[in-house]
Homo-oligomer: A and B are copies of this chain.
Amino acid sequence: MSKSYIRHFNANAIFHRIRIEPNVSQRDIVAKTGIDKSVVSSIVNQFSELGLVERNPVATSNKPGRPMEGLTISPESGLIVGVQIEADTIGYVAAALDGIPVCSKVQAFDGKLDEVADVVARGVKEIVSECGRDSETLGVGISLPGLLTDEGVLLHAPVLGWRGVPVVDMFSSALDAPVFAGNDGKAAAMAEYMFGECVDVRDFIYLFSGSGVGGALFLDGDIYRGSTGLAGELGHIKVVPQGRYCSCGASGCLSAYLCEPALAEEIGRLTGNLPSSFKEIIERANANDEVVVGVLDNAGAVLGSAISSLVNIFNPPLVCLGGDMASAEPYLRPAVERALQRLAHPSMSVQTKVIFSQLSTVSPFLGGVALALDGVTGLDSPHVLP
């Protein structure tokens, strides 16, 4: 526990407050974070000198006394680029320091490891120039479908077939800006904390559904990584003893009932008409296809059972469901609520809100932005989110 750690921590907390509540006063920051006024003044000055934070005069409040200074993140001060590497695509988004996306794009990707650093370097350069700003790139955050060590080594990414890749070093040498890397599920959770539905919630459970089901435990204001970094792989909670086989090799995983391929397969099996995308699944449900609605309802029940377990373990104020789940809310929510009623401890579930977040569909790839922002605003050196 070092001294600079406190500074890092405080700086992050202050930046976070300014971002989620533009035009706050220093006084408010003091009240809400408990950090001393001198420290807030000093750190705000530091941010202000770096050009990261602006002081704006605020409309008169009709109160006596010196008016407050409204503090905001300067949108022109620099760009953060979020990169999301998936099985066959790479997504990019450039955002200002306040996290508001400026532009984004997706590019096809063949998964070749030896070219990816150059591909991403070019992609980042392009997205930055497309923004039409000559502001500096302050950080690049790379969200990866696999597990990372503290040192920035990607241990294993099944969908990419990569293993033991020192991603931070690799991308750092190809890019000019500081590189931050992290697991996709955890990065997405961080994005929810910074920009989404979980802003400023100290404890929440995040579940994400797509080609697989991932997740993260956000505890005490930070992602819980566990001793091995594997913690939070919530897609593999067992929900049905001796249930369906999952791509991970085990059986009865939540993922085997909820991820897009599993739902598609089930619908295909029951109707003889295999959906080609999650969008199609939702379209068929919207068109009142009873089989599809039934499959989604069943998935909701299984999901609700998993959430009930999580509620009983963590008693979190918030459970956030992202990815494909957001667009399926009308078909999932009733079953989830039923399961919670039936399975979760009443005195716990009353304190828990379950929400479906649109963030990852409305503005995708923000996970990487969150990763980088977390590092950049600490007034400190890079790190990794395993």
Grouping DSSP codes into helix (H, G, I), strand (E, B) and loop, the A interface class, with mixed when no group exceeds half, is loop
A230 within 8 A of B: yes
Contacts of A236 in B (CB 8 A): 312, 345, 348
Contacts of A351 in B (CB 8 A): 228, 230
Q: Please judge, given known A-B contacts A313-B313, A316-B227, whether A345 and B217 are in contact too, CB under 8 Å.
A: no
Contact present for B6 and A226 (CB under 8 Å): no
The complex places the Cα of A248 from the Cα of B344 at a distance, in Å, of: 11
Q: Please judge, given known A-B contacts A248-B345, A345-B248, whether A312 and B226 are in contact too, CB under 8 Å.
A: no
The complex places the Cα of A309 from the Cα of B312 at a distance, in Å, of: 12
Contact present for B226 and A203 (CB under 8 Å): yes
Looking at the assembled complex, report how far the CB atom of A1 sits from the nearest CB atom of chain B, in whole angstroms.
Answer: 5
Task: Say which residue of B202, B238, B250, B314 sits within 8 Å of A305 (CB atoms).
Answer: B238
Contacts of A343 in B (CB 8 A): 238, 241, 250, 252
Looking at the assembled complex, report how far the CB atom of A231 sits from the nearest CB atom of chain B, in whole angstroms.
Answer: 5
Task: Say which residue of B203, B238, B342 sits within 8 Å of A312 (CB atoms).
Answer: B238
Q: Mark A316-328, 1 if CB is under 8 A from B, else 0.
A: 1100000000000
Looking at the assembled complex, report how far the CB atom of A255 sits from the nearest CB atom of chain B, in whole angstroms.
Answer: 11
A249 within 8 A of B: yes
Contact present for A315 and B228 (CB under 8 Å): yes
Task: Say which residue of B1, B237, B241, B346 sits within 8 Å of A250 (CB atoms).
Answer: B346
The complex places the Cα of A3 from the Cα of B2 at a distance, in Å, of: 10
The complex places the Cα of A342 from the Cα of B245 at a distance, in Å, of: 12
A291-311 at interface with B (beta carbon < 8 Å): 305, 308-310
A10 within 8 A of B: yes
Contacts of A305 in B (CB 8 A): 238, 241
Query: Which one of A6, A13, A345 has the highest number of Cβ atoms from chain B below 10 Å of its Cβ?
Result: A345
Q: Give the 3 A-B residue pairs with the shortest CB-CB distance, closest first.
A: A230-B315, A1-B9, A203-B227
